[in-house]
């Protein structure tokens, strides 16, 4: 009798172990990938990625290089574009491109997509054939046209850096006063909301913890240099 009891116990135990292993493997296969953040993304929480692992995505060395380096910024932008069904596709490509442009001109990586969201719903509403997603050079005298989305973002980044940020306009509120002076404040509030959403990579958290007026040097080399200098001074 005792032998029969041990036999059944062993069978139940073995079956449980097998089921546990199978279930664990299944959840491992379907779980979302969580990526660490680089130094340029201190305080940013990534919830998950919804990018499809297509062949193009797997072979996109630029995108994967950023992720392997622990830099979450391209993924955050790609998620933002996908969340609102932007025509800026492939999302991973424009995630990398917008980060590269932001780094070239040392501006906050969230600024261009946030302005594009405010001005054109992420390029959905633009003058035909203009590739102008940022409301940049669109006025009663005409519309500034570009050959591509990339050239639009590059030109806007260059001028935002030179004629806004380098002149001390380092918040959306200060940029608004020159970029769109007729706004009643809604422009800056919206840009702040989109930037907060990208900070947390989450729409609800972005609304709940929206910055009143984001500091546009927070995720730039200037902020990194100041933080490193401060840490070095404290260690002396």
Q: Do the bridges between strand 138-139 and strand 142-143 make them parallel or antiparallel, or are there none, so unpaired?
A: antiparallel
pLDDT digits (tens, 9 = 90+) for 165-180: 999 999 999 999 999 9
- The answer to the question of residue 11 being in a domain is no
pLDDT digits (tens, 9 = 90+) for 39-61: 445 333 333 333 443 444 444 55
- The answer to the question of residue 67 being in a domain is yes
Q: Any residues with CB less than 8 A from the CB of 209 and at least 6 apart, and which?
A: 196, 199, 200
- The answer to the question of residue 165 being in a domain is yes
Structural domain count of the chain? 1
CATH code of 103's domain: 1.10.530.10
Residue 138: the pLDDT is 59
pLDDT digits (tens, 9 = 90+) for 71-129: 899 999 999 999 999 999 999 999 999 999 999 999 999 999 999 999 999 999 998 99
Question: Domain containing 195: what range?
Answer: 42-223
Using DSSP, state whether 143 is helix, strand or coil. strand
For residue 139, what is the enclosing H or E element? strand 138-139
- The answer to the question of residue 186 being in a domain is yes
Measured CA to CA, the distance from residue 92 to residue 63 in angstroms comes to: 7
- The answer to the question of residue 85 being in a domain is yes
What pTM value is reported for the model?
0.70
* Residues 56 and 90: beta-carbon distance below 8 Å: yes
For residue 168, the Cα-to-chain-centroid distance in whole angstroms is 24
């Amino acid at each position: 009798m005792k032998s029969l009891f041990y036999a059944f116990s062993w069978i139940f135990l073995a079956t449980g172990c097998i089921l546990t292993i199978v279930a664990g493997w299944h959840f491992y296969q379907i779980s979302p990938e969580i990526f660490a953040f680089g130094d340029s993304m201190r305080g940013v929480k990534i919830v998950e990625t919804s990018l499809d692992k297509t062949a193009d995505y797997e072979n996109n060395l630029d995108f994967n290089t950023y992720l392997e380096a622990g830099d979450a910024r391209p993924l955050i932008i790609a998620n933002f574009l996908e969340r609102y069904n932007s025509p800026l596709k492939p999302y991973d490509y424009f995630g990398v491109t917008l980060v590269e442009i932001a780094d070239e001109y040392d501006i906050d990586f969230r600024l261009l997509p946030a302005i594009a969201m405010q001005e054109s719903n992420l390029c959905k509403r633009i003058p035909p054939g203009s590739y102008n997603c940022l409301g940049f050079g669109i006025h009663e005298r005409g519309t500034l046209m570009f050959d591509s989305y990339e050239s639009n973002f590059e030109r806007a980044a260059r001028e935002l850096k030179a004629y806004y940020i380098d002149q001390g306009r380092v918040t959306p509120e200060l940029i608004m006063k020159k970029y769109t002076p007729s706004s009643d404040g809604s422009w800056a509030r919206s840009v702040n909301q989109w930037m907060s959403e990208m900070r947390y990579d989450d729409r609800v958290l972005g609304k709940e913890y929206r910055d009143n007026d984001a500091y546009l040097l927070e995720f730039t080399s200037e902020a990194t240099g100041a933080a490193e200098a401060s840490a070095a001074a404290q260690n002396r």
